[in-house]
Amino acid sequence: MKILALDSSSLVASVAIITDDILTAEYTINYKKTHSQTLLPMLDEMAKNIDLDLNSIDAIAIASGPGSFTGLRIGAATAKGLGLALNKPIIAVPTLEAMAYNIYTFDRFIVPIMDARRDQVYTGIYQMEEEEIKIIKCPCAIAIEELLEELNRWQEKVVFVGDGIPVMKEKIEEKLKVSYQFAPAHLNRQRAGAVGALGSIYYQKGKIETAAEHKPDYLRLSQAERELAQKNQKILKMREMEEKDLEKVFEIEKQSFSIPWSEQSFLETKKNKDFYYWVAEEQGEVIAYLNLQKILEEGDIYKIAVRLDKRRQGIGEQLLEYAIQEAKKEGITQITLEVRKSNTAAISLYQKKGFSQEGIRPDYYEKPKEDAIIMWKRVL
């Protein structure tokens, strides 16, 4: 098995080849040059030095985010272009998970931190368990103080890795009360070798996608998208779903889920007094929906979905906030939901709205089979 790996998610540009369990070659630059100038020339030079025929690779592993918006786009475009030209699958490897994989230790939490500006970091909490990465906290963008408070509550030893260290070092030293370390220079930045090694594991588990399907995982909206979300907030109307909305809701359902509910399921649950449906409407057209079942004082969110062409505009977040406020009026004191383990964008949104991770349901989802993360929020 031969994996080509690319990482351009930060200032670092890195390319590597993993052949079976061997790092055949790796070329990494941590210098202020645009990735559009460096990534392909680096790949070309590496390929020449090891007589690599790109047609011989089995797949392309790419650091899929979070990170620099520009860097992620360049990396994604490079991987997609190569994948289409060579007819090879893409392995999307979460950037933070690959950074954590640099640190092979079993006695402490591994915490990658990438500078997300405005005193925030892209981060997650990981731990090695039986030679695999275990996710303690899924990737998210949060304030550094919030992260440090959470680490203090865990009372576990910590090793930090990433370009957020020099930016946040003083705050870490001031506020972190548990034992901690900073990764050494050869391990504290992104490396395509780690992306490729983790990508090999993903490949063997069948976690691949086509070049056409791949897209970066930014975790949060860009400035332009945030401005659009603010504009949308002024023109969106949130309301209870009516039967006349069912056709549009069902279209969104089919766009959003590999095993969609039937129209009959929507009709039957809509008639149930314990089910609540809310929609987001733009200029008279339904573009998103959310449903929730009330069980005693608990609300269980089953579905939240936004029309394909309206995603990444903050609409899901606004609808979720509206639903939470409406649920309070119905006497609901806590809300739970399940989310795919790989859906880091949704997980980040739920964490932003105050949901915490409470457990895992193994193999909960089908097509593809995947664990579900259980999330919970107290609303009263």
Q: Which residues are catalytic?
A: 338, 350
The label of the residue with tokens 């790989």 reads: 342
Six-digit token string for 161:
């890795």
DSSP 338-372: EEETT-HHHHHHHHHTT-EEEEEEEEEETTTTEEE
Tokens of 35: 């990735």
What is the SS3 assignment for 207?
A: coil
Q: Which residues pair with 17 in a beta bridge?
A: 4, 25
Q: Report the 10 Å Cβ neighbour count for 157.
A: 14
The answer to whether the beta carbons of residues 109 and 99 sit under 8 Å apart is no
Residue 234, CB-side half-sphere exposure with 13 Å CA sphere: 4
Contact (Cβ atoms closer than 8 angstroms) between residue 276 and residue 306: no
User: By CB neighbour count within 10 A (0-12 exposed, 13-18 middle, 19+ buried), where does 26 fall?
Assistant: middle
Residue 282's CB: how many other CB atoms inside 10 A? 16
CB 274, CB 293: distance < 8 Å: yes
Give the Cα separation of 311 and 340 in Å (integer).
18
Q: Among residues 361, 302, 293, which one has the least CA distance to residue 337?
A: 302
SS3 74: helix
Residue 306, SS3 per DSSP:
strand
